Amino acid sequence: MAKLFRAVIMGPPGSGKGTISERIAQRFGLTRLSSGDFIRENIAANTDAGVLAKTYIERGLLVPDHVMTRLLLPRLEEMTRHSWLMDGFPRTLAQAEALNSTCDLDLVISLNIPYETLKERLSDRWIHPASGRVYNMGFNPPHVQGRDDISGEPLIQHDDDKPEALVARLRHYKDVAKPIIDLYKSKGILHTFSGTETDRIWPYINSLLSTKIPMEGTHRTQRPCTRGY
């Protein structure tokens, strides 16, 4: 029987996590989860955690670990029938440890992309906030300028994609990601992909996942997101 599959994708801002997650979700039928989208949904719905999270995001800060885990872990525990890929969580070692005590991950993808490449990409990134679809005016422009391909709704640019904010984000990523990457390496589930172009990295990710993920339509088992099952 097909086994459910749970994975995390990590990488600095602009490394292509959103773009690659979307491809993985389409190709393998995984549910794509994004911590940022989830927080934005909670802010829009005015939940207690959303209101609290907003006060941090507005100041350009990470949402504290206890708020993130309270928001996300119950959601993951509900996903007993879906294979999923998580983007944006864990972002600290404490989050990784909390996830580890709730869920057995099958695989972690870590993207290793040069700084100059990241800077170029992010200055040209546009997003459809409702779906999380990302566009780049050179790499994958929308069919109609400024509009999402599927909904036709307007695209927006995040303030923190500006160059001055980016340097600090990248430095911060390096510091906090190192212990998380070490943790997943020690568990033997880390796969690192390096390069300057998503289209060149994608075939390697695709072939790795083809050997690991049951294809869409074969998700027959139920697997609680709890250790020990």
Ligand X SMILES: Nc1ncnc2c1ncn2[C@@H]1O[C@H](COP(=O)(O)OP(=O)(O)O)[C@@H](O)[C@H]1O
Ligand Y SMILES: Nc1nc2c(ncn2[C@H]2C[C@H](O)[C@@H](COP(=O)(O)OP(=O)(O)OP(=O)(O)O)O2)c(=O)[nH]1
* Residue closest to 17 by CA, chosen among 89, 115, 75: 89
Q: Are 10 and 112 in contact (CB under 8 A)?
A: no
Among 6, 125, 133, 219, binds ligand Y (CB under 6 A): 125
Q: Which stretch binds ligand X (CB under 6 A): 33-41, 107-115, 192-200, 201-209?
A: 33-41
23: contact with ligand Y by CB under 6 A: no
Contact status: 177 vs ligand X (CB under 6 A)? no
Q: Which residue is nearest to ligand X (CB)?
A: 36
- Contact assessment for residue 28 and residue 209, using Cβ atoms and an 8 Å cutoff: yes
- 183 scored as a contact of ligand X (CB under 6 A): no
Structure tokens belonging to residue 171? 């430095």
- Residues 119 and 210: their CA atoms lie apart, in Å, by 31
> What residue has token string 């609290």?
52
Q: Is 19 annotated as a binding residue?
A: yes
According to the annotation, is 51 in a ligand binding site?
no
Q: Which of ligand Y, ligand X, none binds 197 (CB below 5-8 Å, type-dependent)? A: ligand Y
Which of 81, 200 has the CB closer to ligand Y? 200
Of 121, 128, 133, 219, the one binding ligand Y (CB under 6 A) is 121
Indicate the residue among 100 and 140 with the shorter CB distance to ligand Y: 140
DSSP-assigned letters across all residues of 177-219: HHHHHHHHHHTT-EEEEE-S-HHHHHHHHHHHHHTTSPPTT--
Judge whether 59 is annotated as a binding position: no
* 14 lies in the site for ligand Y, by CB under 6 A: yes
Asked if 136 is part of the footprint of ligand X (rule: CB under 6 A), the reply reads: no
Two tokens, residue 131: 């779906």
**Single-letter residue type at 121:** R
Pairing state between β 133-136 and 125-128: antiparallel
> Which residue lies nearer to ligand X by CB, 3 or 70?
70
Among 5, 7, 8, 13, binds ligand Y (CB under 6 A): 13
Provide the 10 A C-beta neighbour count for residue 191: 16
Q: Is 90 annotated as a binding residue?
A: yes
Q: Which residues bind ligand X (CB under 6 A)?
A: 13, 35-36, 39, 56-57, 62-63, 68, 88-89, 91, 95, 160
